[in-house]
Structure 1
Amino acid sequence: MNTATARYAGQLRTEATHVASGNVIQTDAPTDNHGRGEAFSPTDLVSTALGSCMMTIMGIVAERHQWDLVDSTFAVVKHMSAELPRRIAQVDLLISLPAALAPADRAVLERAALICPVALSLHPDIKQNVAFEYV
Structure 2
Amino acid sequence: MNKFEQGDFYMTTISCTYTGDGETKLVHGPTGSVLETDLPPDNGGKGRRFSPTDLLASAFASCVLTIMGKMAAVRKENFEGTQISIDKIMADKPRRVAEFVLDVTFPAHFTDAQKKLYLSAVNACPVHQTLHPDVKVTVNVK
TM-score (norm. length: structure 1): 0.91
Identical-pair percentage: 36
Matches within 5 A, 1:101-116: 101-116=110-125
Structure 2 regions of 5+ residues with no counterpart? 5-11
Q: What is the DSSP-based 3-state SS (H/G/I as helix, E as strand, rest coil) of the residue aligned with 2:110?
A: coil
With CA pairs under 8 Å and 6+ residues apart, which has the higher RCO, 1 or 2? Answer: 1
Q: 69, 75, 84: which one pairs with 1:59?
A: 69
Q: How many residues align?
A: 132
Superposed structure 1 runs of 4+ greater than 3 Å apart: none
Partner residue in 2 for 1:5:
15
Shift of 1:71: 2.0
Q: Distance in 1 between matches of 2:87 and 2:121?
A: 21
Structure 1 regions of 5+ residues with no counterpart? none
Compare 29-38 and 95-104 and name the one that shifted more. Answer: 95-104
Deviations 1:18-64 (A, max 9, x none): 11111111000000111100100001111121111110110110100
Q: 72, 79, 103: which one pairs with 1:69?
A: 79
Partner residue in 1 for 2:9:
none
Partner residue in 1 for 2:55:
45
Q: 72, 90, 93: which one pairs with 1:80?
A: 90
Shift of 1:130: 1.3
Partner residue in 1 for 2:100:
91
